[in-house]
Structure 1
């Protein structure tokens, strides 16, 4: 396939474990952000046979990413928790990275320049603090999926095998989503996706791209608190339990 993604990440097919990290528990991870994703629609017509759809995907599990290798777009399944080859304490593998500090952190500096990816999702969850409890909200487009900005890494083992992993990138929340939490994943439109994946993109242009990207989220609504358990699965995870808020 030439190009980056279809005009809609889903149009090719027609349709739609670890705890969250805190500011002190992972380099550049920042305050806890969306640690749950929904990835139940295949982003391309061909995906790895091992991939399983998930309506409530947690860090430490496997998900699909899109990346460019030799200028060709490929869809691969990776671990959601960034594990560079030099990392010895795997409990410190971050599932998210703050866009503002990517150039400053050794964990993210090299993959920012050499190993950028997209994380195609149907939507993601953010928990809003309401008194003594947290209410999960689901954020998505009206039709089709979202493309989240991400980084990927490779962890090589002594026997010659390896695994690949990724982290999603977050930025300060803007507009109505800021009422749910301080940060949210960076979503990219089709033009921004092409710039993000292009090897020729100058490193100095990457941070402004992430921080200035307008959110592609169009709807957000509360969902059943049962999604707070990683064991909860199925389409009901994404069903609204209250009025939806439209983001224009």
Structure 2
């Protein structure tokens, strides 16, 4: 799954990684080393089919306006069901987004205690996580990050992982004219799992209120 991540790369680095036309956000990006659900997170999307790409804030919690205010607001959507589930399929076809991240956290149970690990690219380049978004009942856009079965070394710490896309898939993923799931499946591909690494970090990351650069340093 993906329930906590870090984003500390600045706008120029993200723009160089994305390689798509993108206006600079109105507010500077804050460096965040422990991003929890139920907060606004940075994402790249089109507000509508004809709108330019924008880097904006989306609420991390998906609940489309047509569902009202009582249904759950999941933070993840599985790749196995996102294109077919009634709750997600409209957003998958028309409202896809990318969530930039420098890495994410997972917890491993060791001797009855949960040890957090930080997972990221070996070259420390940003990750682009596939997501979907929809307007919530209050009018704010909310999103979910798509997950897939764990691949490569990620399987050492968790059974699932966020769907990180390779560089060639970023543009088609954001293309509003691509709506057919089979077409999307053939042109969008996940990042090579061999590029991912991980290491144990401080249990201080367990508290979402802790947010500092040393949270991603190897545990001593």
Q: Same fold (TM over 0.5)?
A: yes
CA contact 2:118–2:200 (8 Å) conserved in 1: yes
User: Deviations 1:194-242 (Å, cap 9, x if unpaired)?
Assistant: 1211123332233466676533743211100110111111101111116
How far off is 1:40 after superposition?
Answer: 2.0
1:193 aligns to what SS in structure 2?
A: helix
CA RMSD, 1 decimal: 2.2
Task: Check 1:135–1:112 CA distance in 2 against 1; reply closer, same or farther (3 A cut).
Answer: same
1:148 aligns with 2:129: yes
User: Deviations 1:134-185 (Å, cap 9, x if unpaired)?
Assistant: 111111122321100000111244xxxx201110000000121111111000
1:177 aligns with 2:154: yes
1:101 aligns to what SS in structure 2?
A: coil
The answer for the alignment partner of 1:13 in structure 2 is none
CA contact 2:69–2:137 (8 Å) conserved in 1: no
2:142 aligns to what SS in structure 1?
A: strand
Q: What pairs up with 1:1-248 in 2 under 5 angstroms?
A: 33-42=1-10, 43-44=14-15, 46-49=24-27, 52-68=30-46, 69=48, 70=50, 72-89=52-69, 92-141=72-121, 142-157=123-138, 162-201=139-178, 202-207=180-185, 213-215=191-193, 217-241=195-219
Task: Check 1:232–1:120 CA distance in 2 against 1; reply closer, same or farther (3 A cut).
Answer: same
User: Deviations 1:6-51 (Å, cap 9, x if unpaired)?
Assistant: xxxxxxxxxxxxxxxxxxxxxxxxxxx2210101223347224275
Q: Tell me how far apart the structure 1 counterparts of residues 175 and 205 of structure 2 sit (CA, whole Å).
A: 36
How far off is 1:90 after superposition?
Answer: 5.0
Unaligned runs of 5+ in 2: 16-22
With normalisation by structure 1, the TM-score equals 0.76
CA contact 1:186–1:215 (8 Å) conserved in 2: no
1:200 aligns to what SS in structure 2?
A: coil
CA contact 2:130–2:163 (8 Å) conserved in 1: yes
CA contact 2:117–2:201 (8 Å) conserved in 1: yes
CA contact 1:59–1:81 (8 Å) conserved in 2: yes
Q: Tell me how far apart the structure 1 counterparts of residues 200 and 185 of structure 2 sit (CA, whole Å).
A: 31
Count the aligned residue pairs.
Answer: 206
1:181 aligns to what SS in structure 2?
A: coil
Q: Tell me how far apart the structure 2 counterparts of residues 208 and 215 of structure 1 sit (CA, whole Å).
A: 18
Q: Tell me how far apart the structure 2 counterparts of residues 223 and 151 of structure 1 sit (CA, whole Å).
A: 29
